[in-house]
Chain A
Amino acid sequence: MAEGLEDILRKGFYVWKGNLSIALPFLLNKIVSFILIIGLVVSLFSLLPIPLISDLHGVKESLRNASELIAPASIVIILLVFTVFLFLMMLISSFFEAGAIGMAKKAIEAAASPISRVVTYSPFTDMMDYGSRRFFDLFLFRLIISAAVLILVCLLFGAPILINIALSERFEMFFRGFINLGASLLSLSMVALTLFFVVTPYAIVIGDLGVIDGLRRGYKFFMGNKFLVFIFWFFVRYAVELISYAVTFIGMLSLSVALLFVHMPADILYLLRFNDYSSLMTLLAELSVVFIATILVAVLASLAISIFIISPLTTVWWSMFYMKLVEGK
């Protein structure tokens, strides 16, 4: 234990480099959620009042129809669909996250003892195995954290708003102050929640614990090792920031390549002076295509970087952190 955290980071990096397949669950997660989002959009459209879309003759009528059709009942249905959708997304991402942590664990164990590398290492089975074993506990954990955040938001922002309404605007001069206070308290408590339970997902999957035991172990570990958790978290956070920097760079590169294909007039003022609107419009259209393409490339790059580099790498780092420091392997 002479090297400490740096050792974990260095070895974790090599484990990630040697096991790029840890990106698999994250890739599957993105694909499945993409399909789900399409499903949600389709189902919402089928639930929406059709007349609103198809009755194009007589806007007033269709508006009246809409106000009749968007009755409380359909609002409830839409809310229900949204909630079910959110839960489903959470379940699926918990499944894949558990799978990824399980894979990271296997990879770290394999890296520690070279003999076992030959024996059993098949990414897909490991993912399914760990994912199905502990996904529900992980889901419950995510649910508890989200509920806590929701309650905090309601308390910190709801209370001043309610008081403001109750005192009929006489609270106005304190109102902004309380909202500011609520915002800073919220950011602080979000950080606290993250730090308290930062090892909990790993405790649930790697330590094979239930959600309550996982929460307890995460909290206890943080309380015993505040300093280590702090600086490791800082490192992972800013390392992710540094890696994400590549997205900006790729976006700018693609912008500079795309700009080569724009038919730029030699003198833009010339177009304005002679009211040559058609070529001006062509120029604007080309420029907007360039910008949309750039944004598309940047989004794709950020997705790829998140799936293939950031998520697997941080998972391996935290798994290793958990295995070394909490379980002492």
Chain B
Amino acid sequence: MTESIEDIIKAGYRTWRDNIILGIPFLLSGIINVVIIVALVFFLIFVVGYSAMSPNGFNMSTPMLLVMGLATTAAIFLMLLVGSFFEAGAIGMAKKAIRTGSTSFNDMLAYGGKKFLSLFFASILISLIVFFVIVLLLIPVVAAFISGLINVGLSLSVLSLALLMLFDTALSIILIPVSYTIIVSDLGAIEGIRRGCRFFMKNKLSVLFLLFVTKGVMWACGLIINLITSLIGVIPIIGAVINWGVYLLYAISIVMVLVPVFTVWWTRLYMDRTDTKLWEEPIESYPRAPVPEPETLTQESFYI
């Protein structure tokens, strides 16, 4: 019972169209992140201003630097937590919408509250792995430089940069399914990462295909927005002002349309390839459940 990618894309788009509310978590997450960043910037300016106002000129005392570092770290962790909460909520909403045809704000709160810690720990764990690999690659470089082998050090630094790039690219592709594993299959962080990697290994082509399609859609939207802005930009001075509005609208539409659609695609792909039930069994008292029908989707024009 595997759907092809094109069916997943079509059905996922329909799911989003029937549930435009799917964009809400991403919008909220974006707004809260902006608020956190603005607050952090204000806080830093305040701290810097306070320390600069001290009578003996502009000097940074160690406690001030400590406070600034703490504030930045706290803000980063807060943003990660908020992001995890809303991502968990969004994937949960997508799962619900794919299964039953409709979803609500309560699903977001339920899934977000239930799974955000696992998702948060998973992202911390992944960052730790990346950090560990960077340190591992840096040790020989530093050792070579310290022992005076300059060209060995240079060569090793180029080599480790290449390896790091390779590792980063591979990791960013392999770990795509992790958050879907954690939420859809209801797993913890470590088990989620393990199963996510296994999911990728089993479905390399599908994951790559969907990744490339999402990239392509983003690229095509960029092309279109480029056309619109250059069309408006022909107007001498007002055009540039209007274009700021266009860019803002574009950013909002990415958050409200593209990201939720992508989430539904990934969730559907994951549910489909792991044999998670795509729809609930229709109960007698609930006969007209808006059930997506994957079988009928392939009947569109394949041949001319």
A residues with CB within 8 A of B:
1-7, 9-10, 173-174, 177-178, 180-181, 183-185, 187-188, 191, 217, 220-221, 224-225, 227-228, 230-231, 233-235, 237-239, 242, 245, 248-249, 252-253, 255-257, 259-266, 325-326, 328
Q: Which residues of chain A have C-beta atoms less than 8 A from B208's C-beta?
A: 235, 239, 242
Q: Known A6-B5, A177-B234, A264-B151; judge A249-B301 contact (CB<8 A).
A: no
CB of B165 within 8 A of chain A? yes
CB of B162 within 8 A of chain A? yes
Q: Is the CB of B169 within 8 A of A245?
A: yes
| Residue in A1, A177, A220, A257 whose Cβ sees the most chain B Cβ within 10 Å | A177
Q: Which residues of chain B have C-beta atoms less than 8 A from A326's C-beta?
A: 303-304
Q: Is the CB of A239 within 8 A of B212?
A: yes
Q: Is the CB of B156 within 8 A of A256?
A: yes
Stretch at the interface among B38-46, B101-109, B222-230: B222-230
Chain A residue at smallest Cβ distance from B173: A242
Q: Is the CB of B5 within 8 A of A231?
A: yes
Q: Is the CB of A6 within 8 A of B206?
A: yes
Q: Could you tell me which residues of chain B, from 141 to 164, have a CB within 8 Å of some CB in chain A?
A: 148, 150-152, 154-156, 158-159, 161-162
Q: Is the CB of A259 within 8 A of B302?
A: no
Given A178-B234, A235-B208, A248-B165, 12 additional A-B pairs, CB 8 A: A2-B2, A6-B206, A224-B304, A225-B301, A225-B304, A231-B213, A238-B216, A259-B155, A261-B151, A265-B150, A266-B148, A326-B303
Chain A residue at smallest Cβ distance from B150: A264
Q: In the complex, what distance in Å separates the CA atom of A257 from the CA atom of B162?
A: 12
Q: Is the CB of A180 within 8 A of B230?
A: yes
Q: Is the CB of A228 within 8 A of B148?
A: no
Smallest CB–CB gap between B215 and chain A, Å? 6
Q: Which residues of chain B have C-beta atoms less than 8 A from A255's C-beta?
A: 158
Q: Is the CB of B159 within 8 A of A177?
A: no
Q: In the complex, what distance in Å separates the CA atom of A253 from the CA atom of B166?
A: 12
Report whether over half of chain A's contact residues are helix, strand or loop; otherwise say mixed. Answer: helix
Smallest CB–CB gap between B220 and chain A, Å? 8
Q: Is the CB of A225 within 8 A of B302?
A: yes
Q: Is the CB of A4 within 8 A of B155?
A: no
Q: Is the CB of A177 within 8 A of B236?
A: yes
Q: Is the CB of A5 within 8 A of B4?
A: yes
Q: Is the CB of B150 within 8 A of A234?
A: no
Q: In the complex, what distance in Å separates the CA atom of A6 from the CA atom of B161?
A: 34
Q: Could you tell me which residues of chain B, from 199 to 217, have a CB within 8 Å of some CB in chain A?
A: 205-206, 208-209, 211-213, 215-217
User: B209, B217, B298: which contacts A1 (Cβ < 8 A)?
Assistant: B298
Q: Is the CB of B158 within 8 A of A3?
A: no
Report whether over half of chain B's contact residues are helix, strand or loop; otherwise say mixed. Answer: helix
User: A173, A184, A262: which contacts B227 (Cβ < 8 A)?
Assistant: A184
Smallest CB–CB gap between B147 and chain A, Å? 11
Q: Known A184-B227, A231-B9, A266-B148; judge A174-B212 contact (CB<8 A).
A: no
B residues with CB within 8 A of A:
2, 4-7, 9-10, 148, 150-152, 154-156, 158-159, 161-162, 165-166, 169, 205-206, 208-209, 211-213, 215-217, 220, 223-224, 226-227, 230-231, 233-236, 239, 298, 301-304
| Residue in A3, A217, A259, A264 whose Cβ sees the most chain B Cβ within 10 Å | A259
Chain A residue at smallest Cβ distance from B157: A256
Chain B residue at smallest Cβ distance from A265: B150
Q: Is the CB of B212 within 8 A of A259?
A: no
User: B9, B162, B205, B216: which contacts A237 (Cβ < 8 A)?
Assistant: B216
Chain A residue at smallest Cβ distance from B209: A235
Chain A residue at smallest Cβ distance from B211: A238
Q: Known A177-B235, A253-B162, A325-B303; judge A228-B6 contact (CB<8 A).
A: yes
Q: Is the CB of A234 within 8 A of B212?
A: yes
Q: Is the CB of B206 within 8 A of A184?
A: no
| Residue in B151, B154, B169, B223 whose Cβ sees the most chain A Cβ within 10 Å | B151
Q: Which residues of chain B have C-beta atoms less than 8 A from A174's C-beta?
A: 234, 236
Q: Which residues of chain B have C-beta atoms less than 8 A from A242's C-beta?
A: 208
Q: Is the CB of B212 within 8 A of A237?
A: yes
Q: Known A5-B209, A6-B206, A248-B165; judge A185-B227 contact (CB<8 A).
A: yes
Q: Is the CB of B150 within 8 A of A191?
A: no
Q: Which residues of chain B have C-beta atoms less than 8 A from A259's C-beta?
A: 151, 154-155, 158
Q: Which residues of chain B have C-beta atoms less than 8 A from A228's C-beta?
A: 6, 302
Q: Is the CB of A188 within 8 A of B235?
A: no
Q: Is the CB of B155 within 8 A of A257?
A: yes
| Residue in A10, A181, A188, A257 whose Cβ sees the most chain B Cβ within 10 Å | A181
Q: In the complex, what distance in Å separates the CA atom of A253 from the CA atom of B151?
A: 14
Q: Is the CB of B231 within 8 A of A249?
A: no
Q: Is the CB of A10 within 8 A of B205?
A: yes
12 contacts between A and B (CB under 8 A): A2-B298, A181-B234, A224-B304, A227-B6, A227-B10, A231-B216, A249-B165, A260-B151, A261-B151, A262-B154, A264-B150, A328-B303
